[in-house]
Amino acid sequence: MERPAAPPRPTETRLTVTSPEQMRELGRRLAELLRAGDLVMLTGELGAGKTTLTRGLGEGLGVRGAVTSPTFVIARVHPSLGDGPPLVHVDAYRLSGGLDEMEDLDLDVSLPDSVIVVEWGEGKVEELTEDRLHVVIHRAVGDTTDEVRHVTVTGLGERWADAGLETLAG
């Protein structure tokens, strides 16, 4: 009897970003790897750069509208200006529950045709797909003007096994 194939090991890339412009540029480079059906979860302290990274993703994907934090509206859809996928930008910070509470957003319906980026999504959206990208942004906390961010990009699932995440460091 044949054993089922083991799931692919997560792929991981670590980067250091020293300015908001570099964070946006990282988003633009990451956008080159994204396609419809991709889920990107962003994790990091307040002010870490999650929305700045997403702004770069929007620029790289060529979507309409200014990418701003959707904190008070929970989700914003940015249609593509070309033939690429729309960007669905979600801020799950105010949502306390898991996927059940997010069902009203119909992310499962939007996912096949869109790139979905969820800030504060850890523990809330993993059930949408086994194939996802998890971006963790670490920054110094407390009273500091330090712009340095340590970013870990982890690809989970077969989609990200050979997607070229290592090119983000270049």
pLDDT tens for 116-167 read 999 988 887 888 888 999 999 998 776 667 789 999 999 999 999 888 898 8
CA dihedral of 53, 147, 119, 58, whole degrees rounded to 10: -10
Q: What is the pTM of this model?
A: 0.86
pLDDT-derived band at 30 (thresholds 50, 70, 90) equals very high
C-alpha distances in Å from residue 35, one per residue of 32, 91, 149 = 8, 20, 26
pLDDT exceeds 90 at position 97? no
Place of tokens 């200006």: 81
Task: Identify the three-state secondary structure at position 65.
Answer: coil
